[in-house]
Structure 1
């Protein structure tokens, strides 16, 4: 297995003003796609430089070409269309924008735009630094396509869940193999489906199920993710980020990992988990004892939802506490989520964003002095 980076990020960064202005101009028709792409390219190159200057060893394009962390990927698949008048998500302090992804035909992954996006990132990433790609988990696409407003259209192409899961897995395999051919070594699945099932919650996409429904969904989510992973190249590292929502610093769920530790930690065939652990909404570290094999855990103890820096000693103590349940050599530290899972971004400044990253690096250097790559 690839050596674990002892400090990390989840992937998205606050959009710079120049990029926000360009996207707004594009939406109004004041600039064309080529002009928007020029701004995206420039801002991504600047972001690459900043990530390296702040000590990151695995970098992303900040998701600067996306509006959403997940929907843009879905829309890039063949057979999936953008819908702007339905959808949306309920968060702790109000609803998100109204958009969703709906089937217009059979799903496939050929010629996905994210492959070209990755090639640009890779081409401008300095030697010795890894270019990483983040995508929404396959389970998240299943969840979107089986929303009550999308289900009838999904069933027009896939008669049951198993057929849909098989199609999703094959589409993901196509995209990821194309990314791997372009040089990708680490793929990250961002996955909020488990956040819908933590604690006492059994509701997802309007399905107010009993405990049996919750168990069915847990196994289904693990199944679709594992099917997508099953045939990937052996030298490709697969990691997943588990989150309870991140929209303008708000969230949609609370609950410990206890109720999803099986099958998430012991049956999902990933190399590493990046786990949200920045508040009591995530519960304690006890479920980490169920992380199977030599799989690794990146503790998201530094929040991305506000700009206040965490108390260093408190973070150090929490790492020690986590190490009671999983060996310290299998642990690392990161921010809890991205800084801008959607283009609106969270409620902090760019300066605070970079200060958070430097804090993560500094603490990791203290905890794992012989292991931090420098």
Structure 2
């Protein structure tokens, strides 16, 4: 039995918002809204425990978006007036768009106060003994990937190296401050490192002036700088998928383009990886995972409600174990169930059935969840 994260049965972080919480967000603010959020989080923490999981998140219930809610709170970063970021997602029926407010780096980046500190403290005090509270935040890469060079005021950062130093320093302080609150399980969510495997995504980056062929190396360097002084006893994982918005996706391609540097150089303890369909490629890139690093196989999709076959999932775990030791593997959904408040196209019952399935398979494959 694993006593430290990531656990044999785990999940990425976000969970479907209950209808009463969605209604409350439309009519309530401040303490009145927080009371509704508190009750919804208590219930979803119980649900995770009842499913058999050893860790619990707050489902990201206090957020509208898994990453923008964090990024906008960094000192020196604000929303651009009357301008949006457009991210195009794909599904079987066609394309849809995610259009958050664009971001602008208008001052030196800094951490004014620890972000999501009160949210984590509530989760910490809500979980039962023996359950590890997990906090998810976007990685430093997402600040740059979402905004790009045009989002950085050259009057503030005439030398882009200063931007990167300040960004990693702000994240390092966030990690330190959250650790001081008792966080021992922190996850950096990073779609960019998965998107970069897609030649179409790299072409878009090149068009806006980035060095797309080496961007993953820059991102790895800056994440490592943010984690260089992580608190003792804190497990850091990263999650990488190719987009997750209302059961749709944004990019495709296996991990081959980034794999050698990603697995060999990124100083995290574990990797949550999307492997729920052919868009994610094969398991061959896992040959670069060094001993001691954990890989959480995202084999169970969050994009639809149908329950996966146990035999199929076990067979895929066996396939992955040809490239990395079985003892280094865990199992999870491929992404969150609700990366934005809208959520994916499945029900809460289907969501928890998938979590229970993951626990059952972990017990059968590794002897414990």
**What range describes the TM-score normalised by the shorter chain of this pair?**
over 0.9
Compared CA separation, residues 166 and 57, structure 1 to 2 (3 A): same
Give the Cα separation in 2 of the matches to 1:183 and 1:314: 38
List, as ranges, runs of 4+ consecutive aligned residues in structure 1 with deviation greater than 6 Å. Answer: none
Quote the residue 1:345 is aligned against: 343
Q: Deviations over 1:74-128 (max 9, x none)?
A: 1122222134631131111221133233223221113134011100110111111
Moved more, 103-112 or 190-199: 103-112
Contact 1:142 1:168 (C-alpha < 8 Å) held by counterparts: no
Q: 1:321 aligns with which of 295, 319, 322?
A: 319
Contact 1:147 1:205 (C-alpha < 8 Å) held by counterparts: no
TM-score, scaled relative to structure 2: 0.94
Give the Cα separation in 2 of the matches to 1:162 and 1:126: 44
Contact 1:81 1:104 (C-alpha < 8 Å) held by counterparts: yes
Compared CA separation, residues 189 and 205, structure 1 to 2 (3 A): farther
SS in 2 for 1:340: coil
Alpha-carbon offset, residue 205 of structure 1: 5.7
The root-mean-square deviation of aligned C-alpha atoms, in Å, is 1.8
Quote the residue 1:173 is aligned against: 172
Alpha-carbon offset, residue 196 of structure 1: 2.2
Give the Cα separation in 1 of the matches to 2:360 and 2:271: 21
Quote the residue 2:107 is aligned against: 105
Moved more, 227-236 or 358-367: 227-236
Quote the residue 1:73 is aligned against: 70
Give the Cα separation in 1 of the matches to 2:57 and 2:361: 22
SS in 1 for 2:199: coil
**Structure 2, unpaired ranges of 5+:** none
Contact 2:205 2:212 (C-alpha < 8 Å) held by counterparts: no
Alpha-carbon offset, residue 50 of structure 1: 1.0
Give the Cα separation in 2 of the matches to 1:24 and 1:289: 48
Compared CA separation, residues 339 and 147, structure 1 to 2 (3 A): farther
Quote the residue 2:183 is aligned against: 184
Q: How does 1:21-60 map to 2 (within 5 A)?
A: 21-25=23-27, 31-60=28-57
SS in 1 for 2:246: coil
Contact 1:146 1:205 (C-alpha < 8 Å) held by counterparts: no
Quote the residue 1:28 is aligned against: none
Aligned residue pair count: 362
Give the Cα separation in 2 of the matches to 1:123 and 1:204: 46
Give the Cα separation in 2 of the matches to 1:98 and 1:242: 20
Contact 1:77 1:112 (C-alpha < 8 Å) held by counterparts: no
Contact 1:147 1:206 (C-alpha < 8 Å) held by counterparts: no
Moved more, 176-185 or 102-111: 102-111
**Structure 1, unpaired ranges of 5+:** 26-30
SS in 2 for 1:240: strand
SS in 2 for 1:214: coil
Contact 1:14 1:345 (C-alpha < 8 Å) held by counterparts: yes
TM-score, scaled relative to structure 1: 0.92
Alpha-carbon offset, residue 206 of structure 1: 4.4
Q: How does 1:56-135 map to 2 (within 5 A)?
A: 56-83=53-80, 85-92=83-90, 93-135=95-137
SS in 2 for 1:82: strand
Contact 1:137 1:190 (C-alpha < 8 Å) held by counterparts: yes
Compared CA separation, residues 49 and 286, structure 1 to 2 (3 A): same
Query: Is 1:301 paired with 2:321?
Result: no
